Amino acid sequence: MASLTTTGGMQIAFDPASVVEVADHDDSTGEAVTCVYGVLPSLVHISETVAAFLARIGVAAKFCVLTRPNGFPVQVNGGSVSVVRAPLPDEYVAGVNSVVTVGGLAPQGFTETPAAAIAAINAHGGKL
């Protein structure tokens, strides 16, 4: 069991395996804050850096870096990825080269090609 404290002060105990993504920016607000996905149904903001959080809960080696179309990196749990595919025409903004489904999250667009995304994911526990 691991724990975290949200930026609002809530303490949460969780299974480290439940973390599917960690990002250093909130995509919906643009705020520079560490966002943890998978612990709760919605994202959780914390004050730790991405690297410090993943190291502290002992799962850093399971996470690869993929890049959102806005240029922000996202740490993705390779073992939580179920699908990687090319985007459909006009499905995402320009610059999205792969669509990745992670855990229970909605599919997301990343700049890496499908082959590059698969290689990174598989190097970090993925089975694609």
Summarised one tens digit per residue, pLDDT across range 110-126 is 999 999 999 999 999 99
Q: Which of 76, 53, 69 is closest to 122 using CA atoms?
A: 76
Query: Which CA distances in Å does 83 have to 69, 71, 108?
Result: 18, 22, 10
| Tokens matching residue 54 | 């993943």
pLDDT at residue 71, rounded to an integer: 94
Summarised one tens digit per residue, pLDDT across range 10-19 is 999 999 999 9
User: Mean pLDDT in the chain?
Assistant: 97
pLDDT at residue 89, rounded to an integer: 94
| Tokens matching residue 127 | 């089975």
**Angstrom distance (rounded) from CA 109 to CA 106:** 10
pLDDT at residue 18, rounded to an integer: 97
Summarised one tens digit per residue, pLDDT across range 69-98 is 999 999 999 999 999 999 999 999 999 999
Tell me the domain boundaries of the chain.
2-122
What stretch of H or E contains 11? strand 11-14
Summarised one tens digit per residue, pLDDT across range 24-40 is 999 889 999 999 999 99
Q: State phi, psi for 56 to the nearest 5 degrees.
A: -65, -40
Confidence of residue 47 (pLDDT cuts 50, 70, 90): very high
